[in-house]
Amino acid sequence: MADSSSCLILLTYKGKILLMHKTKGVLDTDAHPWSLIGGIRRDKESFEDAIIRSVEKETGIKIQNVERISEFKYHAALTDDNINKMQREEFQLLDFFALKDLQKLLLSPSTQEFVFKYEHLLSS
């Protein structure tokens, strides 16, 4: 996500990272990577508002306490209440992974770079 109107968020819960995996349907056999939730900023929308909107759209979770950790990159720690309200869209998987399990997954390049740069946030 190098586009200056896009942003990513690292959503953490009990030392794990929430990742999303989308396909185009049940017959889609392409290898799609797991990725962090990302968003595109709309006209006159702040990046923080864009990422909050995107998380709600993709997961059903209304996050608060979003922390900006670098330009276009955010972090939020999820709560039990957030997790209980989580929903997924059709042809989408949402799952939590420990850092040690990520090497087994096909990750998008931006996700891989972001996660390993900010892995210290998993312990917070």
pLDDT of residue 22: 82
Task: Please state the pTM of the whole predicted model.
Answer: 0.86
Residue ranges covered by each domain of the chain:
6-123
> Looking at residue 119, what is its pLDDT?
87
- List the chain pLDDT tens, one digit each, 124 residues: 445 688 999 999 999 999 998 877 666 556 789 999 999 999 889 999 999 999 999 999 999 889 999 989 999 999 999 999 898 877 788 999 999 999 899 999 999 999 989 988 887 5
**What is the pLDDT at residue 79?**
93
Q: Which amino acid is at 11?
A: L
pLDDT at 2: 46
DSSP string of 7-69, one letter each residue: EEEEEEETTEEEEEEE-SSTT--S-PPBB-EEEEPPTT--HHHHHHHHHHHHHS------EEE
CATH node for 6-123? 3.90.79.10
